[in-house]
């Protein structure tokens, strides 16, 4: 099967490198023609310093080559996925479409796999998610991810096609759990970054991770997700990674908030938009999600870091 990737950022490029080094011919589409020219000529991507792009990766700023691929990895930001699918739905019907972004669409409050299913009903929607950094994948470091597809037979096909010697995929049919685990952990990563950036210490971060995980479970299970999915790679595994490493964009954004520093506005921070969506979903469904609510208030500027800490510490005492 021919594999294409939509999105020339760090993660999409890293996936392409891993798959190409395993012997697959990869087509990567990027919107920016200058970036495509640089990748083609210099065999490098500025977002992956030191990584040489394999010769069996080809690059295009035109969409036609992408549309002939059987499997398309959608490595676009979560908030632009809907527009991409809407514009090109007729060309994507019948394809295996694998979302590689983590977030909740603010337009319809849906995760990436659900967005694919809604907009391209004749495609096979799937999610590739879990604890991973682009730099690690591109360098061939061992990585384990979840490949979630409601159609288990199709999931097995994708698992075989997309697994590599360094990138091990575990199959699941719980796309709801996979997409919500991947989205919600970004909110907790922002909270963890704020705690460290504000000087509250490692113990505070540990408490946020520990109490944040049940919040993730409550919302995901209310949508029908399986508990074991949230306890796996796409939930707890990804939560631990992104809450403890400065390679995480969401954690880095939280660090900057906690330190009252500016953050690069060109860097995609999915957790900020997800926090806004979660605040609304939690209110609509009557689910208690205090950490997510505080992060939403912090990211929209309606709450200070000091007030956020006070809000969390002044909650009623209760059993664990």
Say if CB 279 and CB 295 are below 8 A apart.
Answer: no
Give me Rg for the CA atoms of the chain: 19
50: left (phi over 0), alpha (psi -120 to 50) or beta: left
Catalytic site residue from 2, 41, 185, 318 = 185
User: Which strand (E) or helix (H) includes residue 171?
Assistant: strand 167-172
Say if CB 258 and CB 194 are below 8 A apart.
Answer: yes
Torsion of the alpha carbons at 249, 272, 204 and 315, rounded to the nearest 10: -170
Question: Would you give the distance in Å from CA 155 to the centre of its chain?
Answer: 19
Q: Hey, what are 125's tokens?
A: 């929607």
Number of other residues whose CB lies within 10 A of the CB of residue 315: 9
Give the integer Cα–Cα distance in Å for 227 and 173: 13
Give the integer Cα–Cα distance in Å for 213 and 177: 13
95 annotated active-site: no
Alpha helices in the chain (DSSP H): 10-21, 33-42, 64-67, 78-92, 112-119, 134-138, 152-162, 175-197, 202-222, 227-230, 238-242, 249-259, 270-285, 290-299, 305-313
Give which of 170, 41, 258, 40 is closest to 250, Cα–Cα: 258
Say if CB 102 and CB 275 are below 8 A apart.
Answer: no
DSSP secondary structure letter of residue 131: S
Number of other residues whose CB lies within 10 A of the CB of residue 101: 28
Q: Any idea which residues carry the catalytic annotation?
A: 185
């Amino acid at each position: 099967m021919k594999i294409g990737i939509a999105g020339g950022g760090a993660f999409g490029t890293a996936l392409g490198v891993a798959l190409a080094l395993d012997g697959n011919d990869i087509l990567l589409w990027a919107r920016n023609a200058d970036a495509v020219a640089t990748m083609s000529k210099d065999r490098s991507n500025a977002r992956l310093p030191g990584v040489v792009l394999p010769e069996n990766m080809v690059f295009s700023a035109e969409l036609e080559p992408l549309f002939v691929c059987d499997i398309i990895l959608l490595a676009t930001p979560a908030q632009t996925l809907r527009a991409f699918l809407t514009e090109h739905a007729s060309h994507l019907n019948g394809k295996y479409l694998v979302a590689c972004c983590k977030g909740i669409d603010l337009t319809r409050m849906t995760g990436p796999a659900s967005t694919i299913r809604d907009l391209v009903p004749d495609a096979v929607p799937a999610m590739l998610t879990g604890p991973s950094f682009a730099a690690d994948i591109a360098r061939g470091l061992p990585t384990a991810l979840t490949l979630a597809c409601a159609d288990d037979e199709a999931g097995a096909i994708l698992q075989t096609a997309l697994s590599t010697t360094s990138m091990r995929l575990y199959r699941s049919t719980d796309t709801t759990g996979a997409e919500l685990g991947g989205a919600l952990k970004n909110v907790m990563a922002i909270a963890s970054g704020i705690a460290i950036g504000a000087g509250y210490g490692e113990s505070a971060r540990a408490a946020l991770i520990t109490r944040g995980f049940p919040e993730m479970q409550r919302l995901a299970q209310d949508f029908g997700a399986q508990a074991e999915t949230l306890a796996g790679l796409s939930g707890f595994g990804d939560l631990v990674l992104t809450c403890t490493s400065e390679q995480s964009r969401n954690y880095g954004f939280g660090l900057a908030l906690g330190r009252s520093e500016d953050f690069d506005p060109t860097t995609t921070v999915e957790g900020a938009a997800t926090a806004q969506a979660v605040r609304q979903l939690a209110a609509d469904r009557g689910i208690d999600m205090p950490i997510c609510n505080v992060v939403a208030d912090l990211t929209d500027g309606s709450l200070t870091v000091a007030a956020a800490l006070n809000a969390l510490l002044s909650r009623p005492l209760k059993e664990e």
